[in-house]
Structure 1
Amino acid sequence: MRFGRVPVAAGIAIGLVLSPMGAAVADPKPTLSQAKAKLEKLNDKADKVVDQYNTATERYKKAKSTYGKLNDNYKRKLETVADLRAQVINIAVDTYRLGGDVTSWPGLVGADNPDDFLARMASAGQMSKERAEKLAAFDRENRGLKAERDKAQEALEAAEKERDAVEKERAEILKLIAEQKKILRKLGAYNPGNPNSVGIKYTGPASGNAAAVLKFAYAQVGKPYVYGGTGPGGWDCSGLTQAAWRAAGVSLPRTTWQQWAWGAGRKVDLNDLQPGDLIFSEGLGHVSIYAGNGEIVHAPQTGDVVKIVKLSSYGRNLQGAVRP
């Protein structure tokens, strides 16, 4: 069979049939509304992932602190046992010099549980009361040494597990941040903020503790949102609410979920908000502070800054409110 030259028009037609549409025409750029919709989804996801990261970080800190305390206890007990062991060696040597059992005392100083030797020495009346007390103390402390060591080791393993969880959440957050920043820059909406911002003065209707809360929060306006941020140069949503209420003498837990749980007996109706109330949204992935006059102050998301906005304009899936 012979194949001749294909006419130009026919070649174009064949090319259109055989070529995928995407190869002939570049994918259209997403519209402004599409970009904003994607950003909204990313922000919602980031809210949840950041709170997971904060929770993992808190668990890691707690596990690490537990390990530190247990390890310190183990080291102290180790020193005590070493000191008592030296005293026991002296007792055993003295016992030998006085005609004691030469074959038994070396086993004592190397054993984890020198019960038999202690019993023999005590029952034979070969030592003074003071020496008996030292031997009993050595036995008691030596018995607890392994338990202390094991507890410290278990705590260390738990801390390492929590550290791995933190690293996993951090890796996912970094991917989200890269996507968020890319879209925000395309939209011309990326705001790096100013870590040294002095904020603005609060002049709203709050009084008492709430006034102190909002005075602090307003002083952070203009500072960047930073995932895991607890200030002073950047904040995430729950880091800001925690610090603001701490300025008023109230200790809140670190994460959004923990703050919601902490406020289980302090819930208030969204129609009865007062300045200083915490407002939870995004499936408990976000928290803000009610400022009065229908406004909130909050740290929104990557590429934005601590700001004051109308609650009605933000109203994204509101879950409820807590009055600390």
Structure 2
Amino acid sequence: MPVVAGLAVGLMVVPTGGAQAAPKPTIKQAKAKLAKLNDKADKVVDRYNTATEKHKKAQGVYDGLNASYKRKLATVADLRQQVISAAVNSYKLGGDAAAVPGVITSDDPTTVLGGLALADQVSRERAEKLAAFDRENRGLKTERDKAEAALAAADDERDAVRKERAEVLKLIAQQKKLLDRLGAYRAGDPNSTGIKYTGAASGNAAAVLRFAYAQVGKPYVFGGTGPGGWDCSGLTQAAWRAAGVSLPRTTWQQWAWGASRKVSLDALQPGDLIFSNGLGHVSIYAGNGQIVHAPQTGDVVKVVTLSSYGGSIVGAVRP
């Protein structure tokens, strides 16, 4: 008996006698619930990706400021040593001058002026070193405070990533349970070599589609940026990178990035990015009414007709 047919029969069986168990959902109900879960998961995964990107950015800011703080700390330590050395040298010079009356009491004006000039030069150098030390030391606290604030921001973003990841994992467990019940779970092959693109696209679009088609059969993985698995925006970003175009990481960011590059849905060209309503999903138009995309948990990168994917479309972008 086919899996789906067997499932349908199993779902119709109701225990007799005593308290009846709650009826299991029908295949139609399970599919409807799965569709809602997929839509919710799309949005949560994008939030997870956004939080991850913010954390990376915040961590980068902290790393830069912390490196600057360490350089300034070394500069202050060096200046401190210079100030100490200048003070010692000045003391020695003063002692030597007092011990050699000829320098101070000489009847030769040239000797006197030379001694005064040297003393004045030493005084200026010491003053400059002291001023530099004071300036850098004051800046040190500012740099330290900036680094500490950046670290706190990075920690906040890290916590946001953990929260979103926990929500994603919860949704994935629910999706897998339903997919298993429907006999529709597809694990995919991380080593898939995909299929060859033979369409008529040229230039950047051809490079995009050659890359995307080579990923067909690899699993959908939330937060996936390859090479063994992808989420929807991870695939579109990598495909356009293969064509020399740098896209932001998340679906929301890619849509915002393309604000001045939007195209009408009746004028789609191969390589265009198609965004679902709510911006939970993005796919690549492959021409002839087809798209290539990484759908959702339990599925693989594949080429399908645009109409078969379902859901409304908010718009398209041509990178």
Q: Once structures 1 and 2 are overlaid, which stretch shifts more, 26-35 or 130-139?
A: 130-139
Residue-pair matches, total: 281
Cα deviation digits, residues 268-307 of structure 1 (max 9, x gap) = 1111111000000041110000000110000000010000
Alpha-carbon distance, 1:91 to partner:
2.0
Select 1:240's aligned residue among 225, 235, 240.
235
1:190 matches 2:185: yes
Alpha-carbon distance, 1:139 to partner:
1.8
Q: 1:233 to 1:316 in 2, by over 3 A?
A: same
Cα deviation digits, residues 83-106 of structure 1 (max 9, x gap) = 110111122233444569xxxxxx
Counterparts of 1:274 and 1:296 in 2: how far apart (Å)?
A: 11
Question: Gaps (5+ residues) in structure 2?
Answer: 1-15, 96-118
**Pairing of 1:173-322 with structure 2 (within 5 A):** 173-322=168-317
Question: Gaps (5+ residues) in structure 1?
Answer: 1-20, 101-123
Residue equivalent to 1:120: none
Identical aligned residues as a percent: 79
SS of 1:308's partner is: strand
Alpha-carbon distance, 1:137 to partner:
1.7
SS of 1:279's partner is: strand
Cα deviation digits, residues 219-277 of structure 1 (max 9, x gap) = 00000000000000000000000000000010100000000000001111111111000
Select 1:47's aligned residue among 30, 34, 42.
42
Alpha-carbon distance, 1:204 to partner:
1.3
- Native 8 Å contact 2:216 2:302 kept in 1: yes
Cα deviation digits, residues 187-240 of structure 1 (max 9, x gap) = 100001000000000011211100000000000000000000000000000000
Counterparts of 1:215 and 1:147 in 2: how far apart (Å)?
A: 51
TM-score where L is the length of structure 2: 0.85
**Pairing of 1:79-118 with structure 2 (within 5 A):** 79-97=74-92
- Native 8 Å contact 1:44 1:282 kept in 2: no
Counterparts of 2:211 and 2:92 in 1: how far apart (Å)?
A: 75
- Native 8 Å contact 1:191 1:303 kept in 2: yes
CA RMSD of aligned residues (A): 1.8
Residue equivalent to 2:156: 161
Counterparts of 1:315 and 1:36 in 2: how far apart (Å)?
A: 13
Q: 1:230 to 1:23 in 2, by over 3 A?
A: farther
Alpha-carbon distance, 1:61 to partner:
0.3
- Native 8 Å contact 2:207 2:243 kept in 1: yes
Residue equivalent to 1:118: none
Residue equivalent to 1:37: 32
- Native 8 Å contact 2:87 2:126 kept in 1: no
SS of 2:135's partner is: helix
Q: Specify the code of the residue in structure 1 equivalent to 2:293.
A: H
Alpha-carbon distance, 1:22 to partner:
11
